[in-house]
Each structure stands twice: as C-alpha cells, then as structure tokens.
Structure 1
Amino acid sequence: MSDFMIQIIEDDEITDLDADQNNDLYWKVAIVDDDQGVHDVTRLALSGVKILGRKLEFICAMSGKEGADLLTNHPDCAVVLLDVVMETSDAGLLLADTIRNQLKMENVQIILRTGQPGYCPEEEVITRYEINDYKTKNELTRDKLFTSLATAIRSYSQLVALNESKKGLRNVIQASASLMKERSVHAFANGVLQQINALFNLSAQGMFCVSQTPSKGPAELIDGPNNHYFVVATSPQFNNFYGKELQDVQRGQAVTIANKTLHKKDNIIEKEFCSLYLSTPSGWEGVVVINSPFNLTDLDEELLKLFCFNVSLGLENAKFFTHLNDAAFFDSLTGLYNRNGFIENAPRIAKLAKRNLSLFIVDIDYFHEIIESLGFEFGNLVLASFTSSLNRDFLSDGIIARLHSDVFALLLPDTQWLYRDITKQCSKPFMVNNNSLRLGVTVGAANCDIRVEKLDIELLLRHAEIALKVAKEHQRGVGQLFEAKFEDDKRAHLDILADLRTGLVKQELFMVLQPKVSMSRGDVVGYEALIRWEHPVKGMISPNAFIPIAEQSGLYFDIDMYVLRKSFEVIEKNPQICKPISVNISANSLHHCDFISEVKQIMTEKNFNIEQIEIEVTENALVRSDMAIKHLRDLKALGFVLCLDDFGAGYSSLSYLLKLPLDVIKIDRTFVTHIEKGTKALAVLEGMLQICQNLDMRVVVEGVETQEQADLLMSLNADIAQGFLYYKPLTIAQVLDDAL
C-alpha cells in the first residue's frame, strides 16, 4: 500500500440526509484493500455517519479474490472502495471486471483508490471498467471521502429505484397482459385478485365487485339499473359473498370499505383493508377489496395506480366481450340459447348420453295471429311465459334454445319423451298476465344413436326441421319423427324446382285443352287451358308433382303468366279455334302486386279477341284480402270473362255471387261425385244450379265421368259439363283435328 493520508476533523455540520426514512436499514460499503490500516481508518472516519437516512455497514476483504467472494455473498452492496494494487498490480482492475461482467452487479458504485496515480491512465480505467469514481489515496480527506461516498450512494439508490420501477412496470404489463386474455368477467376478476398478491408480495384474501350496467355506452346496456353491484370473484375467505348483490351481503369491514370506495370514487387504504376503485371508459364501476394493509412506497403507489388503470381497461374488455358473447349465443328476450348457442353447447349434452340423443323442434301454431290481434308486446309475454314452462319441464334434462320467432328446440339425452308427449306437455295451459292461455304446438323430432354414429348437430337440426315441415303440412297440432325418405323427397323437390325454372326459360312446358260441352247439344262450347311438362330427360312429369312445388316456392306467378301468354299465342296462331279458352289464375298470383300490369303487358304483345279468354279463380283466392277482389274487378274492366272455379268446395260465400262481377260459376266435382249416393247432395246441387240460373250466370259442372251423372244433371237443367265422359285433355293438334 502507498502512503494514504486522511484528515480527521470535527464536522458537526455534516448532517443526516432524509433522516425521516427508516433508520433500521444500512448501506453496505465494501472495503477491498490489502492494508488493514486503510480498513481501520475508513471505519473510524465514517463511524456514525448517515447518508439518505441510513447508517453505513462495512464489509471487508484483503485481496481481489476475497473481494469477489465477499460481493458474491452480498449482492446488495451499494459501494465498493477498491484498491488497485493488491496481490497483483492489477488485482483491483480484475475485480472491477468481475463485478461488472461475471457478478452482473450493474448498480453497485465502484470508487477506485490508488496510491500510484501514474500507474494506470485515469480515463482508460474509468471507461474500460465502468468505474464511478477514481481517487488517489492522499486526496481523500474525511470530507472528500464522505462527499464521494454520499454521491455514490445517491446514484446507487437512484439506479435501484429505477430498476425496481422497471421491474414493477414489467410486472404490471405482464399482469395486465395476462388479464387481458380473460374474456369472462368472473375469470378476469379472479385474475385481478391473484395478480395483486403477486405484484405486491401479498398472500391476502379479497373480493371483486362490479356494477351491473355502465353509466355510458350502448343503449341496450344502460337501460337497466346501474346502481347495483355484484360480487363476481372471491378468495376463499369471502366465498359466501360470491354471486350476491353487494347490498345483500352480510355487513362487515370488507363491505363497508367497498361502499365507501364506491361513494368516494377513489382508493382507500386502511390499517387492515385496502380497497381499490375502478372505473372504465364506458362507466362500469368496480371495487377490489383486499384484507391486507399495503405499505406503499412512492414507487408502489405509482405502480398501483398504473395497475388499476390497466385493470379498468381489462374490465371494460371483459364486460363488452361478455355482452358480445351473450348477443352471439343467447336470445335476449327469453334468456335461452339462440341457434348459435345451441349448436355450441350440443356436444356437451351429447357427452351425457349413453344411448341416444333426441332433438325436438317445437313450433307454436298460428303465433302470428296472436301478434296481429294483440301486438308484439303481448306476443313477447307469451314467449316469456312459454319459455318458463319449457324450463320447468325440460331444463333439468338437457338444453333449450329459441331458434327463431316462435320456434324452440329441446335437446335431451336418453329421454323417454316422444314427440306426441312433447306436444301434449307444451299444449297445457300456462299463465300470462294472470290469465290462463293454452297454445297449440307442432313438433318435429329427430334422433341420433350415439352408440353407432357421431353427433352432427347441424344435420340433426336439419332432420328435425324437415320433420317439422312435414308435420305442419300433414299433422299440424301433433308432430312427426324424421324419416330418411323425407330428405329424399326434399332433394327431389329441389331438383324439380331447379328443373322447372330451366323448363320455363326453355319453354319445355306446353298447353293442353280440356273441352267444355253442352250436354243438350253435345258440341264443344269452350276449353280449359291445362299445363303439362315434358322433361328432356325424365319425360312427362305430372302436374301434381310440380304445381304444388311451384306454389310453395313462389314460382306460381311465372307459371300463370306463362299459361296466359301461351293461351294468347294459341288463339293468335290458330284462328280456327274459335271457342273461348279459360285460364286458371292461382290465389297467389291474384295477390301479386304486379299482376294487372303484367297482364296488360301480355295483351299489348298479342293480337287476339279478348272475349276468347276467360279467367278462372278459386274461392280461396277471394277470402285472403281486398287486393284479390280489386284485381278481379280490374280484369273485368279490361274485358275478360270471369269464372269462379270450384264453387262450393271452399269457403262458399253466396255474397260473392252478388258483389263480384262474375260471369260463369263452375261447380266443384265433389258434388257430382255424391249425387249418385244420396238425395242430400242432389238437393244441394239443385239449389246451387237454381240460384245461378236465376242470377243469369252460366254454370259449368266439372268432373262428369258417367252417363248416370250426366242424366241426373240434365234432369236438373244443367247445360254445360266438363269431364272424362266427354273429353280428356287434348293437345292443340287434337283440338285442331276435332275442329276440322
């Protein structure tokens, strides 16, 4: 060791810095020097000194190697007073390298002391070994030593605080990132309780409360009360509070401080409890109560504020995700699963089944009439009450969904219920606004034997919906179990529909004419146009196979206009056909908004005598709306002869004979069929004929197939008949041959 001088002076003016801090803590100062005298003098000079409110604790080593071991065991050392020349001429420099590069002590301050200032260039040493101060021993008087040490400790303190801040910030970011992944409010809230303990080294119990609705945000979220707070997550100590409204929870310190926090809208830190206030941009409010005191430093308090800010954003995300999830998978009116939610949860129910899975689709019959007569609000009450009945009867067995409007789905594992049982149960009366209401339902059912097939819920739904459609057509008010042939029929239906559209474009459909005959003279007095279809591959397709499909699919209008146009063409191209042709117009076409304008368009395209075209409409076309009657009058104004087809078979209002501009009445074939079997049918038919004749209307009786029927009709003064007794439908060529 070189000469080392330190001047010891009485310096009462050197005072504590920040003496209000915790005096039980020490700054560790390592003295690494091979001269024991340096150790003793340094201790003596700085005895009793406080820096930043803490005393100094000296740890000592006599060589570079001992210094490395010493610092390995004391990683919290603040300052190293390091001699350069010890066991070797560069031992101090090698230790400095070890401190920085091997021990990774980035915060510790190294004050290099040497008695041989010319041995190492000062600038090179400071740069290479990250030396914080470089002094010769003879210039370190007590006051200068104190000044260097105080400066070093202050730098160390700031570096430690900065690193702690970085670490805390990193922890907050990591904790927040973890919480942001949680999509349910419950999972998010549980995560917050766990992260608070992790961030602040606690092992505390707590609870998390959240407001039911936001004070701002989408209207559908703020319509309800926003002053109700629910406990959405708890530690074991507060498990009894979980799921309850805060105002219903048993009073205690935790509840009291939670209410104070929500009222104050700020964090509250007390001796035994800490309560954190959360507020999201949309106005959701939350409070986290922890039953452990926080001993917060300034750094901790800033981290806590940042954490609360991030938690608020995470809560916003969780709340809105929950709302979107509800909107995606739940029906807002009934609280049941919607179609998506039903499909999502079906596999869960399938796992409960050991044998089979049964799906029932329940359709409320004529629900639209409830809406039309009593309004949507009452309809919603009916749906809510019906839902309560379904929940009571079936929820414990499986899952229930509202697929749309008035259609519900029940998915039940290993059930004994059959569709007839479901129909009876759902048709029982229930209460709506203190009134008893009984609904009729139709059920479509489908089964999946999970022992032999894997569940395909989309396929099962389609099967049940097909069964429901069949039931509504043939067994309304009861139900139908899916059968494989229904799907084959449906596929054939779609094939026919697709081919029919193509056939209309390619004009594959052609017309035949069935003559109307004067029974008294035997001559033809008119024709009825009938459509036929010869498919290029499948051959002749019966009208019974494609006409109902056309009506169900909305293609009826195209077919009616097709037949009308073809009838005009026949008259235009074949003037020798001088008897009128009657064209059937379906009920749906008569209600089509473009019906009259389309008829007018066809009339402008063709050259014909309008008296040669008669328009036939059925009774059921007239009872549906005023538009049908208006269109009928418009047709009369255009000059068409109007015929009421199938009279007596439908709604049969005699008022039609008085208020409508009808020229011809066609009596339905059912009356002709029954006149041979009894006097009642004969009497009714006689009365109908008499009325029409008195009103000066022509009468056509259809379905005449036997001579006995013809004789009876002639005895009743019926004149015009149509039926196989006289003619079957004829092609245009046959009609022309007959005319010639």
Structure 2
Amino acid sequence: MSDLLINIVDDSAEKAIKDEQREDLSSWKVAIIDDEDAVHQVTKLALADVIINDKKLEFISAYSGEEGFKLLQQHPDCAVVLLDVVMEEADSGLKLADRIRTDLQQNNLQIILRTGQPGYAPEEDVISRYEINDYKTKSELTHNKLYTSIATAIRSYVHLCSLEESKEGLRHVIRASANLMKERSVHEFANGVLKQINAMFNLRAQGIFCVSQRPQKGPEELASDQQNAFQIVATSPQYNTIHGKTLQDIDRSLETELVESALQQKQHIFGSEYSALYLSTPSQWEGVIVTKGNLDPDVIDQEILKVFCVNISLGLENAKFFSHLNEAAYTDNLTGLYSRTGLMEHAQQRYPSCEEKLTLFIVDIDYFHEIIDSLGYDFGSEVLKKMAFQLRQSFASEAIIARLHTDVFAIALPDSKFDIKAISKICSKPLIVEGNSIRLGVTLGEAHENAGQYKLNADELLRHAEIALKVAKEEHRGAGKCFEPQFEQDKRSRLDMLADFRNGLAHHELFLVLQPKVAVHHQRIIGYEALIRWQHPQKGLIPPVAFIPIVEHSGLYFELDLYVFKQALMLLTNHPEIDLPVSINISANSLHHHDFISELKTLMAQYDVDIARIEIEITENALIRSDMAILHLRALKELGFVLCLDDFGAGYSSLAYLAKLPLDVIKIDRSFVSSIDHSDSALAILKGMLQICQQLNKRIVVEGVETVEQLDLIKSLGVEVVQGFYFYKPMHLEQILSLHKNR
C-alpha cells in the first residue's frame, strides 16, 4: 500500500523551482505581519519563485497587529501567517493570534510565530491557547528553513480545508487530532494516539508506539545531541514491560521485526494479526505504531487513515519540539546546569514554602572577558564547563545550581552553613583546562529567604542576590556582599535620580555657573571655568556630586557634555561682553565617543562663537583609556582649542603624557594645595610638579586656593594663575555680568 506512505516534508522531491513558463498558476496567500520592513523584504526574497503543490506564493503585508487584523479580515483565504511577536506592544502578535481564532474564526489559517529576540519563547499554554503551528527566531529562518516551515504549514492548511468539506468520519479525525495536538509530552501524545486508533477504527487492540530520538533534518543541536536510537514511548498494558526501552534493548519478537521492516521500507505494513503504521514528521523524526489487530486496508476508510496519519505526524513533531523547547528553556546548553528560568522554576517547586532558611549565592568570574580575548571562546567555554563541574562536585547533593548568563552562576542552598568566604574558596580552586592549571577570581552576591516564610518568592531572592553582586563589583572585585535593604533603596534612588535627570535635561533645569581664574600678582580675572548646576523644581538645588557619578555610570555622559557645551556657546553668543575665555569640562568617556569631534563642530558652526573664547578641560584619567582619546585630543588642538589637563596628579599620573600630548595648560588638583601650609611633604610634591610643568613650558593653574597662607606660598613658587574660594566661588551669570560692568 505505497499510496499510504506518509512523509510530510521531502525536500529532495519538493525543492522550490523556477518556472517562468507558468504564469497562470493560482497561489497560496502568505501574510507577513511584522513591524520591520526589512523582514518583509528578506522573506519575499528568500521565497521568490517558490512553488508548492503547483501553486506560487502570494505575499500580503501588514506592519502592526491592528493592520494585520484588518488584512486577514479582507483575505479569509489566507493560508499562512508569519507573525511577529513584538510589534507596537510586547505581545501584539499573541493578541492578534487570539483574535484570528476567536473574532475571525480562521481555524484553518496556519500561524507561524517569529521573534527577533534569541532565547525568547512564549509559554506552552500560550501556544496551545492560540493554536500556534510553529515558532521560529528570525535569525534561523534561512531559505531552506523558511521553505520547510511554509511547505509544512500549507500542507496542514490544505488538509484542514479538505476536512471541512469531507464526511463525518473526517470530522471525527479532526476532533481526535486536535486532542492529540494539545499534548506537549511525547509520551502523553503517544498514549493518546494508541487510544485514538482504537476509537477511530472500532478496535480493541494492544499496541506499541516507537519513535526515533533524533530528527534527520531538524535543528543541529537535536540532530547531534541524541543517539540515533528508536524508543518505545507508549504501550498498551500487554506491552508495559518494554515501555521506555529502545529497540536494541529488548528481545526480538514479531512486533520488533515489524517495526524494523516498516522503518526500512518507510511505508505501512498490514497483516492479518498485526499492522504497522509508518510516520515521518516534517523534520523527519520517524515513528511506527504497531497494533495487534487487523487494519485491513480493503475495509477501513483509506481517506480517514491518510488524514489520521498526517495529523499524527504533525502532532508528533509538535510534541517533540515542545519537549525540546521545554528543555532549552530550563537548561543551560553549554554546562547542563539549570538556566535562569530553570533555577526559578525548580526552586519554586522544591521550596514552595520556606520551612528552612534558603540562601542564594551568585558567583561572577572576574575579568572573564580577558580570558576570551586572549585565549578564545572555545577555551572560555571549557572554563565554564569546568566551573560547572566543580560546583556540581561541591554542592550537587544539596543545592540547585544554575548558569544565569555568560560567566555568572547561582547556587541555592537550604539551611546552609556556607558563607561568602567559603563559597569563594571553593570557586577559586584551580581548574585544569586543556592541560593548564588556572585559578579564577570571583565576586559574589548573597541573599537569604528566612525560615518560616509562608511562600518562597524566588524572583525577589534572585533580584536581591544580583543587587548584592552589583554592589560588590562596584566597591571591591574579588570580594562579596550580602544583600541589605539599603542596597535596594539606593538603587531605587539612583533610578529616580536618573529619571529626574533625563527630564531635567529635556526641560533645561540644568544651568551654568562660572568660577573665575585669577592672575595672582595683579589679582585680575583672566578667564572662567563653566560648572554645571541643577535646579530641581521639587528637590531644589542638587549638587554635581549627587548626580554626575550616576550620569557617568548610566552612559548619559555624552548627552550631558553636549548640553554643557551648547549652554556655554549660548551664553557667549548672548553676552559678547564676556570677553574672557571660558573653559568647559569634558568627561573622560565623551573623549572616547566616535561622534565627539563631529558633534562639537556642528555646535560651533551653529553658534559661530570665536574659538578663542572657548577652552576645553580634560580630566587626567581620560588619557589612559584608549588611542581614540589621544586622537580626539589632537583633533581638538588642530581645530584651535586651548587644551587644559584638569586635576593633574589626582589620577593616573604619567609624565609621558605631558611630553607628547598637545596640552596648553596644566591644572594642579586641589588635593595638593589643601595642606601645603602645614605639611613639608605636600609642599615638596607641589614644588616638584610645578618645576616639571614649567620646564615643559606649560601654563599652570592651581586649584583650591582658599587661604591667604596658601596664596602666599603659591606666589612664592612662581605660580601666576589660581582658582579657588579665596578669590571667588562659582558665580551666577548676573554676578559675572556685574563683575564685567564694574571692571
């Protein structure tokens, strides 16, 4: 009965063909609903000239969930929809899937979910609820995979449409198949199939369901990770003794010989006492159902059998992939440990309530990126595997162990006697990787769920441990921190501050004050330094020390520096009477920004300010970060800016920079001035720094001069320009204008 052979996808026989002679072909409508135009174009290009079952593909497009609903409403004959999960909202695709099934009642339309976010997968109940037929990430939808998915979906669409026009027996197939498709476990699915065969054909037969453990054309990780064995995944009571075993592990019998024969011939086999139904899924998992009963092909309805086998094949594919998705969602593929999701799920199951104290440690390998940079990703992967093995050896019997991401592990221990020091010692044991012994440094975060808690809040426990880890990394790598409520309060305060700062930039709440620079001998103002201040509408004046570190850490430094630069240019444009140069501070990070020079040029051109009226101050630590900082510094000099090195001596001092960089002014940090009037060593250091700068012909500004004693000493050392509270504090614009008027 070769006409009953079921092989859902046979790429060798059904490859896409180009046939320019056949312009009159009808078409399959395929809807692309995605908010990225590039996805539409790439999909159409990948499937251009594809022919499936003598029909071309006709593409219709929509770019949002609402547009997609209207499009499908206008095209009820659409066969397949390629549906983006995240569009105008994070779940727009899922909402549309719901409306397709409920509002439009398009139950034959095949829905293939797509997402551009690796690692994201909808929950099983979501796929079941909306009858999602397939799920792919956009990056994996190559021509072959797109073709396979579309071809499979169209066949499913065809079969469903045929069923609607068929007799009552075929409707029974639909109901039976729909029940089976809901099963996400291969074993539950297979058990359901055995029951449905008896119900379908009025049998009371015993049987077995044998399935291959890897596909011939499935994802690489599935095709390579499993042994090429056939397992008995479901049995009737008579065959319970072989349930779960592979064909190689059980004694040969008439049933096993029938399975092997069906697999070899790749077709159904019908006998007077036993029958075997051969199944092949789109990814070419193979299966054989052996029943101890007569499935006489001359008696049973052939159409019902065909459709039943097709739907079983699709259902088997569905169950297989859901098993894989379930494992992928809860297990880290590299180490075999739990993933982040697996940790949360397993912890919640094992400790639904905290009768014991539960401690969660998070272990971060210090400077793991340097291992990758110097020794490669393969070596780094081996390091992670060895670390996972070491954690299993140390805690496997009592802990839940997970790899959260990259080089970060988690250890959940009930009623643990371990502390941060003990965990750190275990994790820092030497690892033998490719014959080399390496010892890793680690930083840890710790959090507790106290005994007696009514219900474990695994999400909160993990969040607290991660906050503790972040604090530890910021304060001292190689150590650890145990979570304290203050950490969370500080984090919320920083987030609130950051949100307020963004709003403050948008509403111009930040303004400039100017601190004069003074020539000490005739005590005249020779220039200004522009300093940023923030007048919050509710919180009042916020000092820079309260928000600048948060801005730097959050990556908004570039926006702030451009804001300050623009405000200074506006001030000089609106007040030409300020005819002395104003120096503007540029953060270390901005100097490394690719667009730094071009943005400054744009602003200078916009306000047409004489470049002689602007000086740029660069903090010393900016110079050691990268070659780009030095290139940008030279570019600034070529543009004509006077360049000042701010806070010299307070950071990573390097005399080599003074010799080779185009610096005009060196500003001595206030920390060297505060104690010169009562500390001989401080005075000696200051003398040495001044002598070096003078010999290099650099102009010098000494910051932080606050007393007459400090001023007298500095004058005696030959310093010409100072800045500090002794002469002037930072002043508002009105005060500066008054100074100029009086001058």
- TM-score normalised by L of structure 2: 0.68
1:633-692 deviations in whole A, cap 9, x for unaligned?
221122110011122332323222232211011223333356567665554443332222
Q: Mean Cα displacement is larger for which, 611-620 or 494-503?
A: 494-503
1:628 maps to which residue? Answer: 629
Structure 1, unpaired ranges of 5+: 1-165
Structure 1 segment 175-574 matched on structure 2, within 5 A: 176-192=177-193, 204=206, 208-222=209-223, 227-233=228-234, 246-247=247-248, 249=249, 252-253=252-253, 258-266=259-267, 277-288=278-289, 298-299=298-299, 310-351=311-352, 353-449=354-450, 451-574=452-575
Structure 2 letter corresponding to 1:262: L
- Tell me which residue corresponds to 1:593: 594
- What is the alpha-carbon distance in structure 1 between the residues aligned to residue 624 and residue 640 of structure 2? 23
Provide the C-alpha distance between the structure 2 equivalents of 1:735 and 1:403, rounded to a whole number of angstroms: 56
Deviations 1:438-458 (A, max 9, x none): 322222333333624533333
Aligned-residue CA RMSD (Å):
3.7
Rg comparison, structure with higher value = 1
Q: Which amino acid aligns with 2:724?
A: G
| Paired residue type of 2:636 | L
Judged with a 3 Å threshold, the aligned counterparts in structure 2 of structure 1 residues 436 and 277 are, in CA distance, closer, same or farther, namely: farther
**Per-residue displacement from partner, 1:28-85 (whole Å, max 9, x unpaired)?**
xxxxxxxxxxxxxxxxxxxxxxxxxxxxxxxxxxxxxxxxxxxxxxxxxxxxxxxxxx
Contact 1:356–1:447 (Cα < 8 Å) also in 2: yes
Equivalent in the alignment of 1:665: 666
What's the secondary structure of 1:657's corresponding residue? helix
Moved more, 358-367 or 571-580: 571-580
Is the 1:353–1:414 contact (alpha carbons within 8 Å) kept by the matching residues of 2? Answer: no
Distance 1:483 1:289, change over 3 A: same
Cα 1:436/1:168, change in 2 over 3 Å: farther
CA contact (8 A) 2:644 2:667 kept: yes
Q: Which residue of 2 aligns with 1:580?
A: 581
Superposition deviation, residue 406 in structure 1: 2.8
What does the per-residue CA deviation read over 1:604-630, in whole Å, with 9 as the maximum and x for residues that have no partner?
Answer: 333543223210112222222222222
Within 1, Cα distance between the matches of 2:413 and 2:421? Answer: 15
Whole-Å Cα distance in 1 between the matches of residues 176 and 610 of structure 2?
88
**Structure 2: segments with no counterpart, 5+ residues:** 1-166
Q: Distance in 2 between matches of 1:272 and 1:380?
A: 54
Distance 1:615 1:296, change over 3 A: same
Q: Judge conservation of contact 2:354–2:455 (CA < 8 Å) in 1.
A: no
Q: Secondary structure at the match of 2:214?
A: coil
String of CA shifts for 1:84-135, please: whole Å, max 9, x gaps.
xxxxxxxxxxxxxxxxxxxxxxxxxxxxxxxxxxxxxxxxxxxxxxxxxxxx
Match of 2:624, SS state, is: coil
Native 8 Å contact 1:614 1:642 kept in 2:
yes
Partner of 1:135: none
Residue aligned with 1:530, SS: strand
Aligned to 1:732: 733
Matched-pair identity in %: 58
For 1:271 and 1:441, how far apart are their aligned partners in 2? 69
Q: Is the CA contact 1:213–1:225 (under 8 Å) kept in the aligned structure 2? A: yes
**1:512 to partner: Cα distance:** 1.8
Kept in 1, the 8 Å contact 2:676–2:683? The answer is: yes
3-state SS of paired residue (1:587)? coil
Deviations 1:337-387 (A, max 9, x none): 434444443420222741333333333322233333333333333333333
Distance 1:438 1:352, change over 3 A: farther
1:548-596 superposed Cα distances (whole Å, 9 cap, x missing partner):
1222223222221222223233334444544322111011222223222
**In structure 1, what is the Cα distance between the partners aligned to 2:609 and 2:190?**
82
SS in 1 for 2:687: helix
SS at match of 1:622: helix
Query: Could you tell me how far apart the structure 1 residues matched to 2:350 and 2:186 are?
Result: 25
Tell me how far 1:197 sits from its aligned partner.
7.4
Instruction: Measure how far apart 1:241 and its partner are.
Output: 6.3
Change (3 A) 1:298 1:270: closer
Cα gap change, 1:416 to 1:239, in 2 (>3 Å) = farther
Q: Is the 8 A contact 1:214 1:226 kept in 2?
A: no
Contact 2:665 2:701 (8 Å CA) reproduced: yes
Q: Which is worse superposed, 227-236 or 451-460?
A: 227-236
Separation in 1 of the partners of 2:385 and 2:230? 26
Task: Please say if residues 353 and 455 of structure 2, whose CA atoms lie closer than 8 Å, have aligned partners that are also in contact.
Answer: no
Counterpart amino acid of 1:213? R
Counterpart residue type for residue 406 of structure 2: S
Question: In 2 relative to 1, CA 706–436 (structure 1 residues): closer, same or farther, beyond 3 Å?
Answer: farther
Give the Cα separation in 2 of the matches to 1:296 and 1:384.
55
- Tell me which moved more, 375-384 or 292-301: 292-301
CA contact (8 A) 1:269 1:293 kept: no
Q: Which amino acid aligns with 1:588?
A: N
Task: In structure 1, give the amino acid aligned to 2:477.
Answer: R
Q: How far apart are 1:497 and its partner, in Å?
A: 1.9
| 2:270 and 2:296 in contact (8 A); partners too | no
- Paired letter, 2:333: S
How far did 1:237 drift? 8.3
Aligned residue in 2 for 1:163: none
Q: TM-score, normalised by structure 1?
A: 0.68
Using a 3 Å threshold, how does the CA distance of structure 1 residues 640 and 713 change in structure 2: closer, same or farther? same
Contact 2:205 2:293 in 1 (8 A): no
Distance apart, 1:696 and its partner CA: 0.7
User: Partners in 2 of 1:338 and 1:241 — Cα distance?
Assistant: 33
Q: For residues 581 and 304 of structure 1, do their structure 2 counterparts lie closer, same or farther at Cα, with a shift above 3 Å needed?
A: closer
Aligned mates of 1:432, 1:679 — CA distance in 2:
54
Aligned length in residues:
572
- Greater displacement, 214-223 / 643-652: 214-223
Classify the secondary structure of the residue corresponding to 1:534. strand
Which amino acid in 1 is paired with 2:433? V
Distance 1:238 1:385, change over 3 A: farther
Deviation at 1:528, TM superposition (A): 1.7
Cα distance in 2 for residues equivalent to 1:428 and 1:272? 64
Report the Cα distance in structure 2 between the residues aligned to 1:191 and 1:422, rounded to whole angstroms: 48
CA contact (8 A) 1:352 1:413 kept: no
- Mean Cα displacement is larger for which, 703-712 or 380-389? 703-712
CA–CA distance in structure 1, aligned partners of residues 277 and 607 of structure 2: 85
Partner residue, 1:25: none
SS state of the match for residue 658, structure 2? Answer: helix
Q: Are 1:349 and 1:412, in contact at CA under 8 Å, matched by a contact in 2?
A: no
